Amino acid sequence: MTEETETHFSAARSVLRIVMTSPNPETNPETTTLPAPSLPDIRNETRSTLAHQFSLWNQPGYRLEQLLDWLYCRRVETWDAMTNLPKSLRSQLASVWSLGALSLLRKQGSKDSTQKFLWRLKDGSLIESVLIPANPALYGDSADRHTLCVSTQVGCAYGCRFCASGLDGWKRNLAPWEIVGQILGVERWHAEQNPSEKPTAADKISNHRLINNLVIMGMGEPMANYDNLMMALRSLNAPWGGGIGARKITISTSGLAPKIRQLADEPEQFRLAISLHGATDAVRNQIMPVNRKYPLSELSQACSYYLERKGKMITLEYILIDGVNDAIAEVKPLSDLARRLHAKVNLIPYNTVEGLPWKRPDEARCQKFAETLTRSGVTCTLRLEKGHDIDAACGQLRLKTERELAATSAITGSSIDQPEPES
């Protein structure tokens, strides 16, 4: 049975209030004085920077371990919840850093237990995360337990023709803590549903991770927010932070060749996935504007460099779009590219997006494409998309909710109702 839970009316009212009361100095002189800048979030910090501050405060080392346990294992949202830290230390922390949390605005659950989370950020922006349950491995070496698809930007500037994420353009990059906060937020939600699984002080962080696989392919182009993303992933990978193995973290890109090379030179063994969706420049130029700046020749050279430096198999993501890239004639260039890069291919039937002309091929056509590709000697997975009934296309739930809120705000004096639950 499809499940959808949403916050109370106040959450939607808060989003609308931010939209309706944004200051305009020309029409509202009283708003020209800007508020004091907010404190940086503590989860933007590394262990070393926190250790330095604790040293300046003459705090013993074990206090830092207690703090990190509260932040990443217990996932608390307030300083007062850190009950084994002295009140004086909690006050010092609160004077230097904020401790934010993403607000869950909507949650949809599909019939196959895929869960989509819509988060409201402090500035009212909306982003999505998708929790994918136990599944034959798509990106790692063994069967996944719980994989979270994570967003890195509000909107997207790259304008892939078939994608909902960029339909309203790009707004901003996510801060490191907002990327980390998606993992902590989903796990906090899960813990609330399963109170018996609450970790104790003796538990290791990695033993109490609901999420042990990350795919960085939600809203936005991850490589366009490279520095913030790497800060977040290093915290999530570190034993003192998320404790998620680097080989369980896959970063996707639509084809930013220079950033692929930069990733190849990083010490961490993060995996790479390419949002390919076309194995010729003709197809990619039609649906992916980034290909005009970084055509397939340049993209494949960057992938070869990554392979040479890391020795790890690359995944080629290939969304099957009816009448665009699903013809059997497209198998040979895809096969040639995959073999040249020693890559595996993940075929994904298109999730339709309201307002866009693209369609999902029928299942038989998808199966035939996959079988032909497999016979060519390429390792191939056909993902009969989990979550097809929950606005599963990236950015779709966010776009739908923003338009509902905008339509409501246009009705003078109307109250804000919760969006109708999807069936």
Amino acid at 353: V
Closest CA to 176 of 237, 257, 134: 237
128 is catalytic: yes
Q: Which of 156, 303, 394, 402 is labelled catalytic? A: 394
- In the block, tokens 């207690």 appear at 66
Q: Of all helices (H) and strands (E), which one includes residue 334?
A: helix 331-340
Beta strands, E only, 244-298: 249-253, 271-275
- In the block, tokens 């895809």 appear at 334
The C-alpha R_g of the chain, in whole angstroms, comes to 22
Beta strands, E only, 147-219: 147-149, 153-155, 170-173, 213-216
Q: Which of 45, 73, 128, 160 is labelled catalytic? A: 128
Task: Give first-to-last CA distance, the chain, whole Å.
Answer: 9
Beta-bridge partner residues of 380 = 345
Structure tokens belonging to residue 301 = 């050279």
Q: How far apart are CA 320 and CA 346, in angstroms?
A: 10
Dihedral pair phi/psi, residue 321, rounded to 5° = -115, 125
Measuring CA to CA, how many Å separate 118 from each of 164, 177, 394?
A: 14, 16, 11
3-class secondary-structure state, position 1:
coil
Q: How far apart are CA 239 and CA 188, in angstroms?
A: 19
Residues designated as active site: 128, 394
